[in-house]
């Protein structure tokens, strides 16, 4: 067995959440009279947490200094928390992959920059077999990716050393997170970034299907 534990990103890796994310962004932009964003724009914006997503979605260059920025972030969080499951679905083969890994004694965890509550809700619905789940928890002093804090927390809860684990994601943030954690990384090519972007970010191991991912984890 190559790894004892597989730690997964959520959005763009296990779940295709893009349409629900885009709907939440545009609902919020509409509420404040800001221009709507395309699906591809939202795809490029996600990965660094809610505040960065809203910062990029708002039209002005220095969105963080906008007097309503905190309100925009809060309204987005509230809307998405109530509307995160309308169009979201697992990517092909990942549900069976998770079950297969667990059945073979490989531990599985989810670490995401999505708000912790939404991460727990979605994992409970789509992957109830996964018990160790960590979303964005900066209010608790646990920094979001690409800092390794959430990964270290998951590894500790699983009871393994970092060297026994692999991090699996779809973005440059995931590659940097694994680097900061001192952990191997596998990049999936069905998510929010393409292979050229991932290679430029330093990715070296790529998979195109859930079956390929299984092989990269166990062999």
pLDDT digits (tens, 9 = 90+) for 165-175: 999 999 999 99
Residues of the domain holding 51: 18-82
User: In this structure, what DSSP letter does residue 52 have?
Assistant: H
Number of neighbours of residue 110 by Cβ within 10 angstroms: 28
User: Is the domain of 104 the same as that of 172?
Assistant: yes
Cα(20)–Cα(147) distance, integer angstroms = 26
What's the pTM? 0.94
Tokens linked to 120: 């727990």
**Residue 68 is part of a domain; what is its CATH number?**
1.10.150
Phi and psi at 8, nearest 5°, equal -105, 140
Of the three residues 82, 104, 133, the one that is the final residue of a domain is 82
Cα(62)–Cα(64) distance, integer angstroms = 6
HSE-CB at 119 with a 13 A cutoff on CA atoms is 25
Tokens linked to 78: 């509230």
User: Is the domain of 131 the same as that of 199?
Assistant: yes
Total tally of structural domains belonging to the chain: 2
Contact criterion met (CB below 8 Å) for 131 and 106: no
**Residue 161 is part of a domain; what is its CATH number?**
3.40.50.1000
pLDDT digits (tens, 9 = 90+) for 3-52: 999 999 999 999 999 999 999 999 999 999 999 999 999 999 999 999 99
Contact criterion met (CB below 8 Å) for 97 and 78: no
User: Is the domain of 213 the same as that of 141?
Assistant: yes
Tokens linked to 185: 């990384």
Unique residue bearing structure tokens 């200094």? 65
Residue 1: pLDDT band (50, 70, 90) is confident
pLDDT for the residue numbered 97: 98
CA–CA–CA angle 57, 58, 60 (5° rounding): 130
Contact criterion met (CB below 8 Å) for 42 and 54: no
Of the three residues 61, 82, 103, the one that is the final residue of a domain is 82
pLDDT digits (tens, 9 = 90+) for 53-98: 999 999 988 899 999 999 999 999 999 999 999 999 999 999 999 9
Task: Label residues 170-187 b or e (16+ Cβ within 10 Å = b).
Answer: bbbbbbbbbbebebbbbb
User: Is the domain of 9 the same as that of 28?
Assistant: no
User: Is the domain of 66 the same as that of 112?
Assistant: no
User: Is the domain of 97 the same as that of 78?
Assistant: no
User: Is the domain of 112 the same as that of 192?
Assistant: yes
User: Is the domain of 94 the same as that of 147?
Assistant: yes
């Amino acid at each position: 067995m190559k790894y004892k534990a597989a730690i997964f990103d959520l959005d763009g890796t296990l779940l295709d959440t893009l349409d629900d994310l885009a709907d939440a962004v545009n609902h919020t932009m509409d509420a404040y009279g800001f221009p709507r964003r395309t699906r591809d724009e939202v795809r490029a914006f996600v990965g660094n947490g809610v505040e960065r997503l809203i910062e990029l979605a708002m039209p002005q260059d220095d969105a963080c200094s906008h007097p309503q920025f905190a309100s925009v972030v809060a309204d987005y969080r509230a809307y998405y928390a109530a509307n995160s499951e309308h169009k979201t679905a697992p990517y092909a083969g990942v549900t069976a992959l998770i079950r297969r890994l667990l059945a073979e004694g490989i531990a599985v965890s989810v670490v995401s920059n999505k708000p912790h509550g939404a991460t727990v809700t979605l994992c409970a619905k789509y992957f109830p077999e996964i018990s160790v789940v960590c979303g964005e928890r900066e209010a608790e002093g646990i920094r979001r990716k690409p800092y390794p804090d959430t990964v270290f927390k998951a590894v500790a809860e699983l009871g393994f050393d970092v060297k026994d684990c692999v991090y699996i994601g779809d973005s440059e943030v995931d590659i940097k997170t694994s680097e900061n954690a001192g952990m191997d990384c596998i990049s999936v090519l069905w998510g929010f970034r393409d292979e050229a972007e991932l290679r430029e970010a330093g990715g070296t191991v790529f998979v195109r299907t859930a079956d390929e991912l299984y092989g990269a984890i166990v062999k």
